[in-house]
Every structure is written in C-alpha cells, then in structure tokens.
Chain A
Amino acid sequence: MNQAQRRRLILTAAGLIVLAVVIIYLLLPVQSSWLPRCPIHWLTGYDCPGCGSQTALQQLLRGHIADAWSANPFLFIALPILLLTIYADHTAGRHPRLARYLLSCTAVAAWLIAILLWTLLRNLLGW
C-alpha cells in the first residue's frame, strides 16, 4: 500500500467513525446509560478533564450551545486550538513558524498546566 492509498484509507475510516458517532449521539438521549461512562469518574468519583465531553457534543449537535458550554467549557476553548495544532503538525513543511510555536515544549507545558488547573478547578470549585 502506498502512502496515498494509506492516507485515503485512514481518512475514510476516520470519516465513517465520526459519522457513526454523530448518528449515535443524535439518536440516544442526552446522558443515556448506553453511552460509555468515564472510568476515572466511576472509580474515583472525581471529574476528569474530559468529563462532560459527550454531553457537550450531544447538546452541541442539538443546537443547545449554553447547555453544551456548561457541560465542559474547557472543551470549547481547547478544541479549536487542538485542531490548529493537528493542522500545524501535518503541514510543518509549509508553515514552519506555526509548527514551531504550537508544537514547542512551551506549548506542551502550557497544555499540561491548563489541563491540571482545569481538573483542580472543576473538582474543587464544582465547575
């Protein structure tokens, strides 16, 4: 399999998975017990940084922006930056400066600190 075929296969698979997830999220009611549950929350009782993501996506797909925001506000800020980071990673040859900023060790440190702060905030202050 050459690189172009491999890329097409990965993109097709990713597209089908996204489509399946969107359909499942729309068909099942919000917070349905058929949806996977966060094992961290189940084990520890604490919210992990991603807890509420599924609810947020379900509400977003239904057009309920405010409910989506309150389910996981961090996701709203993180997702656009994450998508930009992935884009920069795959186009490092074309946009070397963007890649250098977004993929730097400083960026990684900022991510880890942000995730840690968000986890502490939501569990201690009940966000």
Chain B
Amino acid sequence: MERTQYWLATAEQEKIGPLTLEELTASPHFGPDVRIWRQGLTSWVKASQLPELAGNFGSVPADVVEVEVVTAAEPVYDAHTYEADTRPERPRSYLGWGIAAIILCCMVPAIVSVIYSTYVSSRYADGDYEGARRASETAEIWLLVSIVAGIVELPFIIAINLFG
C-alpha cells in the first residue's frame, strides 16, 4: 500500500507537500492549528482534528470531530480546492431553478430571482461573502414567490383552456 501523503498550509497560505507523516510532524510549521490535507479528506482540517496526528498534542485528543472521509480520488488536489477552503462555501444561487421557471412558466418573479443569482456569483467572486449570502436569500424568496404564483395561477389557466 502506498504511504499516505500530506500537505500543509502555512500561515502565509503557502502549500507544502507532499510530505510523509514523519516529515509533516518534523516541519517547523507544524502545530495543532496548522491546516492539513491528505487523500480521503473533503476539505482542509486542523492538524489537531486528524486522528493520526491528535496524539502529538498531549495525551487527550482535541474536541471529538467527525472527519468526513470520501473515496480516495476526492477531493482532487488543485488550487481550487485549496482556495475553496479559505473561503466560506458559495451560497446557492438558484440559477437553474430560476431559468427553468422563466422558460416553463414565463414568470416575472423568476426574472428577479435570476438577477439576484448573478449578484451571488459576482459578490462571491469579489470576496463579499455576506453580500453573496444575502443575494442568495433574496433569490430564494423570489423563486418561492414565482412557485406560489404558479400554483395560484394553475386553476385559472386550466379554466381559460376549458371555457375560454
């Protein structure tokens, strides 16, 4: 079996690796709060959260943390997974649902929802995470408005077809 390879992120956001477990613990950057990634993790974690490293920081491991393990291939280690970890998760933009509502029901509220979807993307890209989150909530509300409007409208448009 291949030896597990570790990567370490310094305080200056610099990636170091691949390292063996021994090289990792010997590194001058190593400490309980240093960010670590190895195969099997969905995101970067603090060194003290990894079961195999917890023993290095006193006899009692830090708070019990469930480390989420996925299949070996994920996440693909590249600049984007690294970048993604230092930022909060992108809020939902509801773009797909909004476009579907526009195409299928020609809903005016869905257009507002899609406009706010673009704010989610652009604000997130600009680092305005709070603004992106608010835009996401607004997009969701307008999507719900268009769904409710569609349900209310349904009996009327059936009536149009039957009697109109």
**Residue of B96, B103, B157, B162 with most partner-chain A CB within 10 A:** B103
Given A107-B95, A108-B114: A37 in contact with B104 (beta carbons within 8 A): no
B97 within 8 A of A: yes
Cβ A82 vs Cβ B90 within 8 A: no
Q: A33, A93, A100: which has the most chain B beta carbons within 10 Å?
A: A93
Q: Are B120 and A103 in contact (CB under 8 A)?
A: yes
Instruction: Please measure, in the bound complex, the distance between the C-alpha atom of A89 and the C-alpha atom of B104, giving whole angstroms.
Output: 20
Size bracket of the A interface: 35 or more
- Can you report 9 residue pairs joining A to B where beta carbons are below 8 Å apart? A39-B153, A42-B160, A75-B103, A78-B99, A82-B100, A90-B92, A92-B89, A93-B84, A96-B81
Contact of A82 among B80, B99, B117, B164 (CB under 8 A): B99
The residues of A with any CB-CB pair to B shorter than 8 Å are 33-40, 42, 48-50, 53, 74-75, 78, 82-83, 85-90, 92-94, 96-97, 99-100, 102-105, 107-108, 111-112, 115
The complex places the Cα of A83 from the Cα of B102 at a distance, in Å, of: 15
Instruction: Pick from A42, A97, A103: contact of B164, CB below 8 A.
Output: A42
A39 near B160 with CB under 8 A, answer: yes
* B121 adjacent to chain A (CB < 8 Å): yes
Is the CB–CB distance between B104 and A50 below 8 Å? yes
Interchain CB contact under 8 A, A36 and B89: no
Please indicate the chain A residues that have their CB under 8 angstroms from the CB of B114 in the complex. 108, 111-112
Contacts of A75 in B (CB 8 A): 103
In contact, A34 and B162 (Cβ under 8 angstroms) = yes
Q: Which residues of A are found within 8 Å of B43, using beta-carbon distances?
A: 93
- Structural contact, B95 and A85, CB atoms closer than 8 A: yes
The contact of A36 among B42, B90, B154, by CB within 8 Å, is B154
Q: Kindly name the residue among A42, A83, A94, A104 whose own CB sees the greatest number of chain B CB atoms within 10 A.
A: A94
Nearest CB to that of A104 among chain B residues? Answer: B121
Residues of B95-142 at the interface with A, using a CB-CB cut-off of 8 Å, are 95-97, 99-100, 102-106, 114, 117-118, 120-122, 125
